[in-house]
Amino acid sequence: MPWLQLLWLTILLLTLGGVAFGQLPKLAMNRATICLVGATLLVQSGAITYHEALQAIDLHTITLLLAMMILNIHLRMAGFFSWVAYHTTASQLHPRLLLALLMLVSATLSALFLNDTIVLAFTPLVLEVVLMAGLPPIPFLIGLATAANIGSVATLIGNPQNMLIGIASQIPFIPFLLALTPVALGSLAIAWLILVILYPKQLQQQPTTPPPPAPLSMHHTLLRKSLLATLLLLAALLSGMPVALAAISATIPLLITRRWKADEILQEVDWPVLLFFAALFIVTRAVETTGFSQPFLPDPHNLQLPTLAWGSLLLSNLVSNVPAVLLLKPLVNQLSWSHTAWLTLAMATTLAGNLTLLGSVANLIVAESARKQGVTLGFWPYLRAGLPITLATLLWGIYWLSRPA
C-alpha cells in the first residue's frame, strides 16, 4: 500500500475509532473535535478535495437538527417534559403497569422530540419517584432507555440517523411513520415482556411510600407557544413539506419573542453535535472517495434484507449508528429495493442502540444521570437485558419489513 493511502487509512481508523469510543487515549478531545481534526487532515492530505468536503456537508440534516433542538429547548424551559415525567411515574400503579406506562410515554415522546431529550428530562424524576416508592430502579432505568430508542424508530424526527435517512431517501413523513410504527409498537411490547421476565420479583414489589407532591414550575405562555410550534411542525410534515423546512419554519413563533433573550436560547443549543455532524459528513465521504469501504461492502445484486439488518446492527455497534448510516448510504442507493432498504437501515441502526450501554447516547445519559443520584447502571446488568431485547426486536423488525407488499 502506498504511503499516502496508508496515511489516509490511519487517519480514518483513528477518527472512526475516536467517534466509536468518544475519546482518544491521553487526549482531552470529544467526538466533535476528533471528527473536525480528522476531516481537516483528510482534506489537507488529499483524501478528499476542499470542494468535495464542502459538498459532503448535508445542510438539510444540520438545519433539521438545529430546529429540533430549538423546539426541545423551549419545551424543556416551559416545564413540559418534567410535568409529563412526573405524572407518568407518580401514578399509583402496580410496578409492571408503571413500567409499561413509563415505556409507552418515553417511546411516544421520543418519536416526536428526539430520544436523547426525553431521557435527559425523565431520568432524574423517574429515579426520585421510584426510589421514594421503594421500588428497584434498574428495570425502570433500562425500560426508559430502551423505550426511548425503540420509540424513535417510528418517525423521521425521532433520532439523528432517521433524519439522515429521511433526507437521503426522500421518503415522506407519513409513509415512513406507517411503515415503522408497527415495528416500534411490537418492539416496545417485546422489551417490556423481557424486562418482566428478567426482573420477576423486583417488579412484583408494592410501592412503600407515596410519591411526593410535584415540585413543578411551568411557564404557561412559553408552553402554549411551544405546543403551537409542535402542532405547526406536525401539520407541515403531514402536508408533505420537506422535513428540514417544516422543522425550521415551526420555530418561527418561538424565536419571535419579547421575554426570552435570543442569547439565552442559542446558548442552550448543542453546537458540538452540529459540528460533529458537519465533520462526520466529510469523514464518511472520504471513506467513499478513497475506496477503502469497497472490499467490505456486499454485492448489491445479492444483498438480502436480513443481511442488511444484521450488518447494520454490527456496524452500528462498531462505529456508532450515525456513522454506520453514512457508511452504508452508497450501498443502499444501489439497491433495486432501496425504499425498503432505507426503512431497514433506520430500523436496524436504531434498535442496535439497545445492545449495550455504549450503544446509544440515550443509554449513556440515563446511566450518567443515575450515577449523579447514587444509582449505578453498569455495563453487564444493562447487557443482560439489552442483548435479548436487541436480538428479539431486530427479528421482529426483519419479519415485519420482509412481508410481501
CA distance 334 to 298: 11
CA distance 375 to 367: 8
DSSP, collapsed to helix, strand or coil, labels residue 277 as helix
Domain ranges in the chain? Answer: 58-269+298-402
* Residue 88 and residue 49 in contact, taking contact as beta carbons nearer than 8 Å: no
**Chain centre to alpha carbon of residue 89:** 23
DSSP, collapsed to helix, strand or coil, labels residue 94 as coil
pLDDT value of residue 300: 76
Residues of the chain with pLDDT under 70: 1, 207-216, 405
Torsion, CA 379, CA 383, CA 386, CA 392, rounded to 10: 160
pLDDT value of residue 339: 94
pLDDT value of residue 394: 98
* Residue 192 and residue 107 in contact, taking contact as beta carbons nearer than 8 Å: no
Number of other CB atoms surrounding residue 204 within 10 Å: 11
pLDDT value of residue 113: 87
21 CB-side CA count, 13 A: 12
Q: Could you tell me the three cell numbers for 43?
A: 482534506
Digit-coded pLDDT (tens) for 10-62: 999 999 888 878 788 888 888 889 999 999 999 999 999 999 999 999 999 89
* Residue 119 and residue 148 in contact, taking contact as beta carbons nearer than 8 Å: yes
CA distance 261 to 45: 43
CA distance 54 to 52: 5
% of the chain at pLDDT higher than 70? 97
pLDDT value of residue 361: 84
